Structure 1
Amino acid sequence: MSGENYKLHHWFGTPPGRYLLAWEQERYDELVADIFGYHALQLGMPGLQALRANRMPHRWLALGADEAQGVPPAEGAADQGVPPALLAEAVALPFAEASLDLVALPHTLELSVDPHAALREVYRVLVPEGRTVISGLNPWSLWGLRQGRARLYQRLGGGGQPYLPDVGEFISPGRLRDWLRLLGFELETISFGCYRPAATKERWLQRHAWMESLGARWWPILGAGYVIVAAKRVPGMRLLEPSWRKAPRTAGAQVQVARRH
């Protein structure tokens, strides 16, 4: 499999990766439970069951060619996910236009060669009013700050190991929101989470569990992870009024009727 896929999936086996994955699983379970339809697709991340709480009769997991070659298991994870049903790349989905009701993208855009093209494909295959649920790593967070500092040290020739997987530039929620609006999506909800500091050990993450409620209240947009729900909006047709309805009407004149006495 490609190096970027390996780095990301291997990182999800670390203590901070499992912590983020558990939070995302809760959000997906909550958000997809009340999305109805017939066909749902999860693209990428077999270790996360994004559709398990959804009740659509047809649900599939699709993986890219590189990702399907062998995803390293998440260490200590109780649930390794479900086997893929098909191979599909995010930029070229093998589905007809307006054929899916729900598409889940757990960290899919971060690994895509062209995330904007992937979103266009999602818009194409979704039915009108269909939903997409997208999760990603927030560069504007304590974790992202440590990642940026480590990259700066590396550029200056110093040491420093990146805290997050080095898979390229993460997409900020604001940037993703602009892309969605440009393509015709309407943002419905956005959730932030994982406010604990950038620690690598399990015990340090547990010691700072109190920061979850504090962060959600005082700096909610600075969570390490985010999940966005967006709906595909299609402008409705406007019926034009026939021209004969707009023609001026002839005013009726009163006519005197002669009466016989």
Structure 2
Amino acid sequence: MVKRLGQRFKQVYRQGPVETRLQEAALSQWYRTSVGQELLAAEVDLISRAISGRFGSMMVQLDSGAHEPLFEKRLFGAGTLVSQLENRAPCPVICAKPENLPFEPESIDMLLMHHTLDICENPYQVIREGAIALKPGGVLIVLGFNPYSLWGLRALIQGRGEGAGIWHSRFLRSGRVEDWMHLLDFELERHEKHLFYPPYRRPSWLQRLNFGGRVQRRLLPFTGAVYLLVGYKQVLGRLPAAEKRVKRGFLEPVVSINSKVRHK
């Protein structure tokens, strides 16, 4: 029993889904459920607050199956979705893997990873690609599922049976993601946990459990179903260039540029 739980813990919290494309398709269907719609609405509000007061010419969203932009369009000149599935999102869509982003270095103002680390093959490589593509001072926003929550507990108990949907995802510890961001020279601005309600599908249950969610938020603030990380790429300072000294001969007189030559 203990060995089986250990194997399931490793599968759910570390390995992630077997096939990224299939998991994105499964999440795309799950986002259409009542709980999925509640989750997207809450995350749109979180993203809106995270980018409040920021402006830029280019924002990229690494999609996980939502197939729609989750940021306010008027704040950015151009918004692009990166997906592994063809979809009809109301903005440009690029089919690519998040571990190999097709953008020039330092060409993006803001990068949103919407549960990308939960379904990709190599989470650290995804953040590294984001660090390369972001401009100095660019903002990275990461949304992921919290393993230390009721949602993470259900994923651990339910396992990865057929039709598991969201429970196939990797529930990655937010502290680990924060360490990766620091390693790649990101200055962390926000580290928050949100959505304090059980993963039930019936809206009537969600309304009845509002009080319990408020108590959970107050007493156990680290048990939110979703974590939000916001960091910006640091601009490394440059040392001033050393003054160039003009070489002169041993017997050559010293005459500065600003000195006045007196003629007799």
- 1:121 and 1:50 map into 2 onto residues whose CA distance is 21
Which of 74, 92, 102 aligns to 2:100? It is 92
Report the equivalent of 1:111.
119
Are 1:167 and 2:175 counterparts?
Answer: no
Q: List structure 1 segments (4+ residues) > 3 angstroms apart after TM superposition.
A: 45-48, 160-164, 240-244
**Contact 2:73 2:79 (C-alpha < 8 Å) held by counterparts:** no
Q: State, as a whole percentage, how many aligned pairs show the same letter.
A: 28
In structure 2, the residue matched to 1:215 is 216
Unmatched segments (≥5 aa) in structure 2: 1-19, 246-264
Structure 2: distance between partners of 1:3 and 1:42: 19
Partner residue of 1:137 out of 126, 142, 145: 145
Change in CA separation of 1:223 and 1:162 when aligned onto 2, cut-off 3 Å: farther
Amino acid at match of 2:226: G
Structure 2 counterpart of 1:27: 46
| RMSD, aligned α-carbons | 2.6
Q: Is the 8 A contact 2:60 2:110 kept in 1?
A: yes
- 2:223 corresponds to 1:228: no
CA distance in 2, matches of 1:40, 1:29: 13
2:70 to 41, 50, 55: 50
Q: Give 1:17 shift.
A: 1.9
Q: Against the structure 1 CA distance between its residues 31 and 149, is the aligned structure 2 distance closer, same or farther, given a 3 Å change threshold?
A: same
Do the aligned partners of residues 164 and 207 (structure 1) sit closer, same or farther apart at CA in structure 2, a change above 3 Å counting? Answer: farther
CA distance 1:53–1:33, shift in 2 (3 Å): farther
Q: Which amino acid aligns with 1:230?
A: G
Q: Deviations over 1:152-210 (max 9, x none)?
A: xx8xxxxx889762334221111111111111111111232111123232211121122
Task: Provide structure 1 residue ranges, at least 5 long, that are not aligned to the other structure.
Answer: 72-80, 155-159, 245-261
**Mapped pair 1:82 → 2:90:** yes
**Contact 2:47–2:70 (Cα < 8 Å) also in 1:** yes
Question: Deviations 1:72-125 (Å, cap 9, x if unpaired)?
Answer: xxxxxxxxx634433232111121111111011111121212111111110001
Tell whether the 8 Å contact from 1:143 to 1:163 is kept in structure 2 after alignment.
Answer: no
Query: What TM-score do you get using the length of structure 2 for normalisation?
Result: 0.76
2:59 is aligned with 1:59:
no
TM-score between the two structures when normalised by the length of structure 1: 0.77
**Contact 2:103–2:133 at 8 Å: present in 1 too?**
yes
The question of 1:40 aligning with 2:40 is answered no
